[in-house]
């Protein structure tokens, strides 16, 4: 099967984890030592079948560099797990638009180079799948790249909470262009939202009545800072809706980012509170802390999404691809329970491999 050729929009921490992951797992022989991947092989493809062919950013410290060097440039602070060999893919200057907020304008060094012709570069690179990894608040920039992906006849993966795949007008544009569209807001491999939903589902299935629950996140890095300034309410609404969908009844649910702590760097701490009753209304409470490194949380899920989107391209799927959206994103066009989403994704892969 031909490789999935990917263009990255935003060469931040998620891009760093993604590219380092491709290098890290490429060293595994005969599909051995693939711990950390949900699907070492998906639809007949491994991580070796993913190739980064183009990348865009606005930071002077990244633009013009090989993408394998740019991922280690400031303000990135994702942990280094692999020495990545050069790919000959130069980071191109994208348009600024709303890519930098007030809270990050003193952290990002905006390049003065002229904006690149995005459509032309995507076409020349042979890109098939454009992955939007821009900051949460970059609504105009996300829509700009979604439009350029259409012009270059590429599928679009929206990892941000900006509504693209769940927007009816964008879904129609991609359907009319006979191209796949997936999103919105990428889930983490071991993220707080998935853990929260799993806990609630387990308790509910065991007869516990959930009275109230919350999930609060504290993180470092520019993405957490940008979220606090520009998309806190949106992220809270998305996460709350996602968590609440797990229960078959309405109850008090709050989920979302709460604060930024610079010295956490690329780490994230999540705090959970669950209160409920079980047999004869006996009370129960759960109060726990969950710590992760942010950037690597995107890697395994993106590997799955890219390969599934490649299958969608091969099978000429068009518009929003519901099984991929429900499996890999917090705000898909149609919300599904965890088990239903997993089963739908598995069936999609089996039917299109």
191-241 pLDDT tens trace: 888 899 999 999 999 999 999 999 999 998 787 877 877 778 888 888 899
Rounded Cα distance between 311 and 323, Å, is: 12
260-279 pLDDT tens trace: 898 998 899 999 999 999 99
- Residue 42 near residue 323, CB atoms below 8 Å: no
CB atoms within 10 A of CB 282: 9
Res. 308: pLDDT tops 80: yes
Architecture of domain 4-187+296-352: 3-Layer(aba) Sandwich (3.40)
The confidence band for 29, taking pLDDT boundaries of 50, 70 and 90, is low
What is the average pLDDT across 14-27?
A: 94
* pTM score of the predicted model: 0.90
The confidence band for 106, taking pLDDT boundaries of 50, 70 and 90, is confident
Rounded Cα distance between 173 and 281, Å, is: 52
| 192-293 homologous superfamily | Dihydrodipicolinate Reductase; domain 2 (3.30.360.10)
Percent of the chain with pLDDT over 90: 80
Mean pLDDT of the chain: 93
Residue 18: phi and psi, rounded to 5, are: -65, -50
Q: Which residue has the tokens 């984890």?
A: 17
CB atoms within 10 A of CB 240: 17
Percent of the chain with pLDDT over 70: 99
Residue 129, classed as helix, strand or coil, is strand
* Res 353: pLDDT: 84
Q: Which of 90, 199, 176, 76 is nearest to 135 (CA)?
A: 76
Instruction: Give me the residue spans of the domains in the chain.
Output: 4-187+296-352, 192-293
């Amino acid at each position: 099967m031909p490789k999935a050729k990917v263009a990255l929009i935003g060469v931040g921490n998620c891009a760093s984890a993604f590219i380092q992951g491709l290098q890290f797992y490429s060293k595994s022989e005969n599909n051995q030592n693939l711990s950390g991947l949900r699907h070492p092989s998906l639809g007949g493809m491994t991580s070796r079948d993913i190739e980064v062919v183009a990348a865009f950013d606005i930071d002077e410290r990244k633009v013009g560099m090989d993408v394998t060097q740019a991922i280690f440039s400031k303000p990135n602070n994702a942990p280094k797990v692999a020495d990545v060999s050069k790919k000959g893919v130069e980071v191109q200057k994208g348009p600024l638009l709303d890519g930098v907020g007030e809270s990050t304008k003193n952290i990002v060094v905006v390049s003065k180079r002229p904006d690149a012709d995005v459509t032309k570069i995507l076409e020349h690179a042979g890109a098939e799948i454009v992955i939007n990894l821009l900051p949460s608040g970059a609504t105009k920039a996300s829509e700009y790249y979604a439009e350029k992906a259409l012009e270059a006849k590429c599928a679009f993966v929206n990892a941000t909470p900006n509504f693209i795949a769940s927007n009816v007008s964008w879904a129609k544009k991609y359907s009319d262009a006979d191209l796949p569209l997936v999103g919105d807001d990428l889930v983490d491999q071991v993220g707080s939202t998935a853990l929260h939903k799993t806990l609630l589902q387990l308790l509910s299935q065991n007869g516990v009545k959930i009275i109230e629950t919350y999930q609060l996140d504290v993180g470092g890095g520019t993405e957490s800072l940008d979220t606090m300034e520009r998309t806190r309410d949106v992220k809270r609404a998305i996460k709350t809706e996602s968590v609440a969908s797990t229960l078959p009844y309405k109850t008090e649910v709050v989920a979302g980012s709460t604060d930024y702590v610079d010295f956490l760097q690329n780490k994230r701490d999540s705090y959970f509170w669950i209160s409920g009753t079980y047999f004869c209304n006996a009370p129960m409470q759960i109060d726990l802390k969950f710590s992760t490194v942010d950037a690597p949380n995107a890697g395994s899920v993106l590997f799955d999404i890219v390969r599934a989107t490649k299958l969608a391209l091969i099978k000429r799927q068009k518009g929003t691809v519901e099984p991929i959206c429900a499996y890999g994103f917090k705000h898909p066009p149609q919300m599904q329970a965890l088990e239903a989403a997993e089963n739908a994704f598995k069936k999609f892969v089996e039917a299109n491999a």
